[in-house]
């Protein structure tokens, strides 16, 4: 398909099939790989069709930076998600992650950032909360007595407790069965939302009337929202406008202020979705990154030894790590950044959409076209990284072994839609990682094969299940 504006052409792409477009020509369970193959043929900016929906895929640092930063005002919208309406929420109540770019999203984001700061983001109080949770995780690891175990859901629970303490005003014990079930459901929602079927249902919303299809795709997400509703209902029973305990209370205060002029921004529906967004985003990416971190450290014990040595030299084994230590731990900091780069947790970011006609790398992209941002193409660009497909912490060290940040390091994306939890995630990654490696040496269990280091893709890229042994140092 060609469209022109002032002589510029629509991005090239594969020939599409009638009715289905390119829907059946890519593997939605390995979408980053499919896009990588297409970019080799059609270039860093290419077009793609899902049914009759036009999409553009952006690859490479220059094109991604132009799209997310230079043209941020033009490309910060989100495509509509017809299936969300089936779940019974009010029109335009879309939370913060997938909300359309406009007043509602701006108001919700501004309120969320302000409230997170009020509850400790960027302050010593939240740092202490993260450090305390890291100690709780260490205690849970210690109960394993050096025997093989899967750290997956212990890490999930620990990381989730940080955002839960802000949003819900409470943390959950690691043996809380209800909360463990919710963490499993959250992972299931990522899996069911990935693949061909959800794309087909978004293209043909009439399929939401087929009960078993709707349950298959959206039951986990509905269960998460039910969990949010229960917690919010408990807050409403004990709500006191004079005492704001957490994010939910702060949102309820805003609802009270606007009750005579109800808005979609501060409504019960938007609170449910926004709380769910914060719960999911504040749990999944950071916990997955830490799981990659443990995996890489058992696969590269020499690097783990260097981390141990640096932590022992700078912090010792008795004092808890603090964020003030980060500047004095250049190798450990480089390792954490390399875990993020190599793990490549959210390879395609979240879908964007143009809010007006624009140009990307000289190609015309009309208003209303969805945009996939291929972050993998930036984090593993062979022209920007010395060893893009290897775990190599020296990517973030200069000749004098000082830490250096690279421009092409953008795991949190960039621009107006940059992850609003980036500051919290960076703190959590540093404090959890240094606390764990101050206390333990991690190894592959005896008589077990070397764990796989290829990713499992389900919107996020996570390690395949593995076991570790955690031995006290």
- The secondary structure of 10-76 as a DSSP string is PPP-PPPBTTTBTTTSS-GGGHHHHHHHHHHHH-SEEEEEETTEEEEEE-SHHHHHIIIIITHHHH-
Taking Cα atoms as reference points, which of 256, 389, 391 lies closest to residue 334?
391
Distance, CA of 444 to CA of 99 (rounded, Å):
43
Please report, in range form, the residues annotated as the binding site. 419
- Whether 425 and 411 have beta carbons less than 8 Å apart is answered as no
Sign of CA dihedral 169, 255, 253, 241: negative
Say if residue 440 is exposed, middle or buried (CB neighbours under 10 Å; 0-12, 13-18, 19+). buried
Given the structure tokens 């140092």, which residue do they identify? 473
Closest residue by Cα to residue 12 from 52, 75, 57, 68: 57
Q: What angle do CA 155, 159, 160 make, to 5 degrees?
A: 110
| DSSP state letter for 397 | B
Distance between CA atoms of 222 and 95, rounded to whole angstroms?
Answer: 15
Task: Please enumerate, by residue number, every residue annotated as part of a binding site for heme.
Answer: 419
The residues, ordered by sequence, that sit 6+ positions from 161 with a Cβ below 8 Å of its Cβ are 133, 136, 171, 172
> How open is the CA angle 19-5-37, to the nearest 5 degrees?
50
For the chain, the residue count is 473
**Cα–Cα distance, 237 to 6 (Å, whole number):** 60
């Amino acid at each position: 398909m060609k469209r022109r504006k002032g002589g510029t052409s629509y991005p090239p792409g594969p020939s599409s099939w009638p009715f289905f477009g390119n829907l059946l020509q890519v593997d939605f369970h390995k979408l980053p790989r499919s896009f990588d193959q297409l970019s080799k043929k059609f270039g860093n900016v290419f077009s793609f069709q899902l049914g009759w929906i036009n999409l553009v895929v952006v690859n490479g640092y220059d094109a991604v930076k132009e799209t997310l930063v230079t043209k941020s005002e033009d490309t910060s919208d989100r495509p509509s998600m017809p299936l969300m309406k089936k779940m019974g929420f009010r029109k335009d109540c879309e939370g913060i992650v997938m909300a359309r770019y406009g007043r509602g999203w701006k108001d919700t984001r501004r309120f969320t950032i302000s409230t997170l700061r009020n509850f400790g983001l960027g302050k010593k109080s939240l740092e202490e909360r993260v450090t305390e949770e890291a100690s709780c995780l260490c205690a849970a690891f210690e109960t394993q007595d050096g025997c093989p175990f899967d750290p997956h859901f212990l890490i999930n629970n620990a990381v989730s407790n940080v955002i839960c303490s802000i949003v819900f005003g409470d943390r959950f014990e690691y043996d809380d069965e209800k909360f463990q079930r919710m963490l499993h459901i959250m992972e299931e929602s990522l899996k069911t939302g990935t693949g061909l079927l959800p794309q087909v249902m978004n293209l043909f919303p009439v399929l939401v009337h087929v009960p078993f299809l709707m349950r298959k795709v959206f039951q986990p997400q509905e269960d998460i929202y039910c969990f949010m509703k229960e917690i919010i209902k408990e807050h409403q029973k004990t709500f006191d406008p004079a005492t704001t305990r957490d994010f939910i209370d702060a949102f309820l205060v805003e609802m009270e202020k606007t009750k005579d002029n109800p808005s979609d921004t501060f409504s019960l529906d938007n609170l449910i979705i926004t709380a769910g967004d914060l719960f999911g985003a504040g749990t999944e990416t950071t916990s997955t990154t830490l799981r990659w971190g443990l995996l890489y450290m058992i696969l590269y014990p020499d690097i783990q030894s260097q981390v141990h040595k640096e932590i022992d030299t700078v912090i010792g084994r008795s004092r808890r790590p603090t964020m003030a230590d980060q500047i004095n731990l250049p190798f450990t900091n480089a390792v954490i950044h390399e875990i993020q780069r190599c793990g490549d947790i959210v390879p395609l970011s979240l879908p964007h959409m143009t809010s007006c006609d624009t140009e990307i790398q000289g190609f015309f992209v009309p208003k209303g076209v969805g945009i996939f941002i291929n972050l993998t193409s930036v984090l593993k660009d062979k022209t920007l990284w010395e060893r893009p497909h290897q775990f190599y912490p020296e990517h973030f060290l200069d000749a004098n072994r000082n830490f250096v940040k690279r421009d092409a390091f953008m795991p949190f994306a960039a621009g107006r839609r940059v992850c609003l939890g980036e500051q919290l995630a960076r703190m959590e990654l540093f404090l959890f990682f240094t606390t764990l490696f101050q206390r333990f040496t991690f190894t592959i269990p005896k008589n077990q094969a070397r764990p796989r280091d290829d990713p499992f893709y389900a919107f996020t890229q996570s390690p395949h299940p593995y076991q570790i042994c955690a031995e006290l140092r």
